[in-house]
Amino acid sequence: MIKKFLIIEEFISKEAFSGILLFIATVLAVIVANSSVGEEYYNLWHMPLGITLGDRTISMTLTYWIDDALMALFFLMVGLEIKREMVIGELSSISKAAFPIIAAIGGMVVPALIYVILNPNNPLGFGIPMATDIAFALGILMLLGTKVNPAVKLFLVALAVVDDLGAVLVVATVYTADIKVEYFLHAGITYALIWFLNYSGVKKLLPYLILGVFLWIFIHEIGIHATIAGVLLAFAIPISSKIDEKRFIEETRKAVNDFEKNIDEIPILNHHQIESLEKIAHDYDKVQNPLIRLEHDLHGLSAFFIMPLFAFSNAGVLIDFSTISANLMIVLGVFFGLVLGKPIGIFGFTYLLTKLKIIKKPENISWFEVIAVGFLGGIGFTMSTFITNLAFDNEPIIAAVKLGVFAASFVAAIIGVFLILKAKRSDKVA
């Protein structure tokens, strides 16, 4: 239980700091894009880069390499988080998972409906207001410190994990290019080999990652957004270790005793002591959980490199209000979907199903706090920006939507913070 809590706390801490870095990267991108070097900024990210494998070349702009390749690592981490929560976390049982799952569903359905109602002739952008940026949301809660009920953080994490799963499904099924059926077989065989490693008890991460690269290539060739390869790979990463903690303690204690017994007067390690240390190191690798280990390694890479780089490369839009007026309904669909749709969906769905006694609200969180989390869920930002690039290929529309996402995320954050500070930490139904 303590170990699980520490994992969650570490997750929240890294995501929170990542949110601060994302904010800095975003502001910097907007400043640079609207400065005298704005053209150089644009040209940098649209510079073509290619990789040749045999007789096949994969060529994309630098931005697309970030969005398709680096973001695949981000989605791998997302997939690992989803699997962890489903196995040992807040989604590991129906009773624990029901409330955040319903909250997340409501927080996806209502924003999408608002967007479609306002844009019946242009519905493809419905996925943009569905997404929640957990890094930004947790970053805000981190800044508020002890003023935030710890249960609110856990609820937001669980909700965001389900929200991420929904975003993954939308990206995989809606925002795809022309499908090349012939590559399905290649991808299927590769994925089958990955699962064969899992069933064979292979705990080393390297074989999974090598096959994961090929899976990414084949999925990219199919026409499905290649970041999905990261999620698929994550579900196949084993969660059990080679030896349990008790055996590790026993073996380590023996090795330490052997190390101590072989201490001599020579001030360097002898052969027996080196063997004892090697035994500890060997068992250290065997006791580590492959999924948690990979998630831990990717969290730093994602939080401090991938996401800030994604924000800096994608957030640099020209502040041109003429693009907003030309695409007003799309922008309003995104804005109201995030600012109103998220809290209405999260609170409305959970409150209704709780009153119908289908689900049960956790006792350590109030309805007022559920509403506050609903507004924090309206911070779409990076995921909304990511889906914007998939939904539209018209630069003025993309620029207008990004400005709408930024404005909505700012407003939702302000309201969410205000409500969090006003929230009464009570177990009574508000």
Tens-place pLDDT, residues 279-332 = 888 777 677 788 888 888 887 788 788 888 888 887 777 777 788 888 999 999
Residues with Cβ within 8 Å of residue 144, at least 6 apart in sequence: 417, 420, 421
The predicted structure's pLDDT at residue 191:
93
Is residue 276 scored above 80 in pLDDT? yes
For the ranges 7-16, 99-108, 123-132, 241-250, which has the lowest average pLDDT? 7-16
Distance, CA of 230 to CA of 74 (rounded, Å): 8
* CATH architecture assigned to 2-175+225-241+288-422: Up-down Bundle (1.20)
For the ranges 29-43, 50-64, 182-196, which has the lowest average pLDDT? 50-64
Give the 3-state secondary structure of residue 109.
helix
% the chain with pLDDT above 70: 88
Query: Average model confidence (pLDDT) for the chain?
Result: 82
Q: Return the bridge partners of 56, or none.
A: 53
Token pair listed for 332: 């309003």
Phi-psi category of residue 54: left, alpha or beta, with phi > 0 → left and psi -120 to 50 → alpha: left
How many Cα atoms within 13 Å fall on the side-chain side of residue 70?
Answer: 22
Token pair listed for 207: 């074989």
Binning pLDDT at 50, 70 and 90, where does residue 194 land?
very high
Residue, of 157 and 189, whose pLDDT is higher = 189
The predicted structure's pLDDT at residue 375:
94
Domain spans of the chain?
2-175+225-241+288-422, 245-284
Q: What is the rounded average pLDDT of the residues 30-52?
A: 84
pLDDT in tens, 339-386: 999 999 999 999 999 999 898 888 888 899 999 999 999 988 777 888
For residue 50, the 8-state DSSP code is E
| pTM exceeding 0.85 | no
The predicted structure's pLDDT at residue 44:
86
Query: Diameter of the chain by CA atoms?
Result: 84
Residue, of 193 and 140, whose pLDDT is higher = 193
Q: What is the rounded average pLDDT of the residues 22-41?
A: 85
For the ranges 43-57, 118-132, 200-214, which has the lowest average pLDDT? 43-57
Distance, CA of 234 to CA of 159 (rounded, Å): 19
Binning pLDDT at 50, 70 and 90, where does residue 3 land?
low
Is residue 428 scored above 50 in pLDDT? no
Single-letter code of the amino acid located at 236: A
What is the chain's alpha carbon radius of gyration, rounded to the nearest angstrom? 24
